Structure 1
Amino acid sequence: MGSTYSTNNNEGSRTSGLGDLPENCLARILACLDPPDICNLARINRVFRHASSADSVWEVKLPENYRFLAKKLMLYDGSFECLARKDIYVGLCCPVRFSSGTKEVWMDKRCGGICMLVSWKGMKIVGIDDRRYWTHIPTQQSRFHSIAYLQQIWWLQVEGDIEFKFPAGSYSLFFHIKLERPSNGRRCSSTTQKVHGWNIKPARFQFLVSNGQRVISESYLNEHGKWLNYHVGDFEVEDSYKPTKIKFSMTQIDCTHQKGGLALDCVFICSTRTQNMMATY
């Protein structure tokens, strides 16, 4: 079916298209599309641009608790009747840091799913301040501009938590890690540079949600040289207006051998809709 048609009469022909539809009808069509497609169509002409800015188009794209999110992330404390829903959507897509800059949250512009990062600096890590075990490496490979690099240790224990009013839906939790030597140009002994110990016993990943959901998984870490989003598991949020608290951890506490060569960046939480649309954050 085409988007235009011609009408022939004695006075000649006229071509009509979607742009001839009433603006409210066009807005109802646009509301069925994904946000990137809406923005692309808004560039066609003035009619599409006006229709794409209608509150009815963006209201259905916003999370159920968008008013709370706007106050939390956009620091907006005025009347929502004075703020266009499109402007709220755009504002929520801008990353915001909190908890002394150790956590970051934003809304995925493609599907409206909430995403969150927890930096290693916001976690409790055994031995993190002892340079015999861990080093802190500045890098542009992290959104927090630094990673924690494990040189060698007997007892690996990384713990953290987050509390937030996640919109209702399904979410996935990942550890963003890498098995690789330091790459900041500093000289290190071969002992501290070597990736070792991860194929002897598996690392244990787990998280516990305040509504009782718990996930435990174990894995041998053997893929070297690239950043991985290690998928720990999924959880459900049922109430958008109730804070959800998540405790997560990564451990390898078998003291029969040392392990090292692990780079830790952050924990990544995202809606499963976002997970299906992206390979890495």
Structure 2
Amino acid sequence: MRSNISSTCDIIIKFGSITYLRQIWWLEAVGKIRFEFAPGKYSLLFKIQLGKPIRKCGRKTCSLDQVHGWDIKPVRFQLSTSDGQCAMSERHLDESGRWVYHHAGDFVVENQNSPVWVKFSMLQIDCTHTKGGLCLDCVIICPFEYRGKYKYSD
């Protein structure tokens, strides 16, 4: 994907539909995107939820029945760019029942007319236990100064 973006816009990378993982041994969610960003500093966040979104009596709620294993070992959030920048963060997932933005890291774009590849991943590959009940909605790339509008875990 190639496009221009101003420094006040957010890029939201949707996966077509919300992905729900009922039970798994390991997780590798990986993607990449190519954009011509305006010069500046950007943040990359994953929007996830522990629990399955459901409607009950016409109201949106969340089923926590299958949430397990995410508090045992940390999940690794990573990004890398075509010019060699890398960022990584790790955290245990322990906030159930609501959408949370997890900050993978930041990167800097210096050249206006040069497309940048951004690779991103969310990994938990410890196979000593099962994990389940995770929803992955999207990945967001936003200007660094606007990342505060997303309630995120750092």
Number of equivalent positions = 143
Larger helix percent:
1
Candidates 214, 223, 227, aligned match of 2:99: 227
The normalised TM-score by structure 2 is 0.85
Q: Percent identity?
A: 47
Candidates 163, 167, 173, aligned match of 2:44: 173
Task: Give the number of the structure with larger relative contact order, counting CA–CA contacts within 8 Å between residues 6 or more apart.
Answer: 2
Cα deviation for residue 272 of structure 1 reads: 1.2
Max Rg structure:
1
Note closer, same or farther for the CA distance 1:222–1:212 as it changes in structure 2 (3 Å cut): same
Cα deviation for residue 274 of structure 1 reads: 2.0
Structure 2: distance between partners of 1:242 and 1:220: 36
Candidates 22, 40, 52, aligned match of 1:151: 22
Can you give the 5+ residue segments of structure 2 that lack an aligned partner in the other structure? 57-63
**Contact kept? 2:82, 2:116, Cα under 8 Å:** yes
**Contact kept? 1:149, 1:182, Cα under 8 Å:** no
Structure 2: distance between partners of 1:184 and 1:155: 28
Partner of 1:127 in structure 2? none
Larger strand percent:
2
- The aligned amino acid for 2:48 is I
Residue 254 (structure 1) aligned with residue 149 (structure 2): no
1:74-120 deviation line (CA, Å, top 9, x unaligned): xxxxxxxxxxxxxxxxxxxxxxxxxxxxxxxx75xxxx513101112
Residue 161 (structure 1) aligned with residue 32 (structure 2): yes
Cα deviation for residue 200 of structure 1 reads: 0.8
Task: Give runs of aligned pairs for residues 1-281 of structure 1, distance below 5 A.
Answer: 112-121=7-16, 146-184=17-55, 193-276=65-148, 278-279=149-150
Can you give the 5+ residue segments of structure 1 that lack an aligned partner in the other structure? 1-68, 74-105, 122-145, 186-191
Structure 2: distance between partners of 1:184 and 1:264: 18
Cα deviation for residue 184 of structure 1 reads: 4.6
Cα deviation for residue 257 of structure 1 reads: 0.5
The normalised TM-score by structure 1 is 0.48
Runs of 4+ in 1 over 2 A off after TM superposition: none
